[in-house]
Structure 1
């Protein structure tokens, strides 16, 4: 996969959705349990905001009062089209404070989300070894050329815990290590 791939190819189709009237601590616990950075705040099927882990923490620390998701959410929903290139999502994430973008189809219906981790994973796993832009990048922990170092060629990153492992398997649409599959 390359930066010229579309957002549809890297997005997460299963996303966490919450309501404006949900308790902010319950929503924060849901984010933690699901291992995600943010949730789409929905009014029916329409996204009306984003709730991110940082927003929950900021709300609790600043206000002290535990209230609703509507009080802690960001009411601007950053959207990207599913057929746009990955570089568009990367530019949007870098230029905003958001870590999650809502992905929409041609009818503007929500079909998933794309996160910073999705983009990093897509670019890192899809890097073309013949690509001239990667010549000066030193591989982590090896100190050798990635073309000659076979020790790490079969490893990937667990989508739940972030561990580097060679024991990844697809489970509920995610690539998970053996520890995360057992949970």
Structure 2
């Protein structure tokens, strides 16, 4: 069971994503991305999202071709169509959509309006947190699995072993330890 897949997107998305008009230059988009410390801008025509421009678009379509960023327009290098996800979806659904469309960023929309952005990094952050929790649960579960066995102090078989000072003790040995 993958618990993390049912986390609502609104819990992990970044609100107020960076946007840029399609008629803006790549230099202006890069400045916005630097200012906001992000790797992409959602491209708008009016207030309607029509594409996305990323660092990779800038590197491959402008820098690698030795073009001048101040003379290239965002509309000419943006990636389209814009793949979006609805606000009421989950982390798991976002991950599946990213895999299907081979994208690393998904604008989160509601009624056609962009409310946020979710990235692969955001999804991995959720997975990492849950992996830590699962590791702690596994440790607890392992302790329960050792409830039956041989007491580390007296060597007798017991169905009531409990960890105490890094050793597994039966009920009698725990009583003796408490009396000391």
Same fold (TM over 0.5): yes
Q: What residue is the counterpart of 2:126 in the other structure?
A: 122
Q: Deviations over 1:31-73 (max 9, x none)?
A: 1332212110011221010000000111223433331111110
Residue segments in structure 1 that go unaligned for 5+ positions in a row? 136-144, 148-183
Q: Is the 8 Å Cα contact of residues 4 and 85 (structure 1) preserved in structure 2?
A: yes
Count of residue pairs the alignment pairs up: 136
Counting helix residues as a fraction of each chain, which structure ranks higher? Answer: 2
In structure 2, the residue corresponding to 1:71 is in which secondary structure?
helix
Q: Go from structure 1 to structure 2 and tell me whether the alpha carbon gap of 1:40 and 1:146 turns closer, same or farther (over 3 Å shift).
A: farther
Please list, as runs of the form range in 1=range in 2, the aligned pairs for 1:14-93 lying within 5 A after superposition: 14-66=16-68, 67-93=72-98
The aligned residue for residue 145 of structure 2 is none
Contact 1:99 1:116 in 2 (8 A): yes
Shift of 1:102: 1.1
- Tell me by how many angstroms 1:128 deviates: 6.4
Following the alignment from structure 1 to structure 2, what is the Cα–Cα distance between the partners of residues 50 and 63?
A: 20
Query: Is the CA contact 2:51–2:80 (under 8 Å) kept in the aligned structure 1?
Result: yes
Name the CA distance, whole Å, in 2 between partners of 1:48 and 1:70. 9
Who is 2:117 aligned against? 113
- Secondary structure of 1:63's partner? coil
TM-score, scaled relative to structure 1: 0.65
Q: TM-score, normalised by structure 2?
A: 0.66
Q: Please, what is the CA RMSD of the aligned residues?
A: 2.7
Alignment partner, residue 98 of structure 1: 103
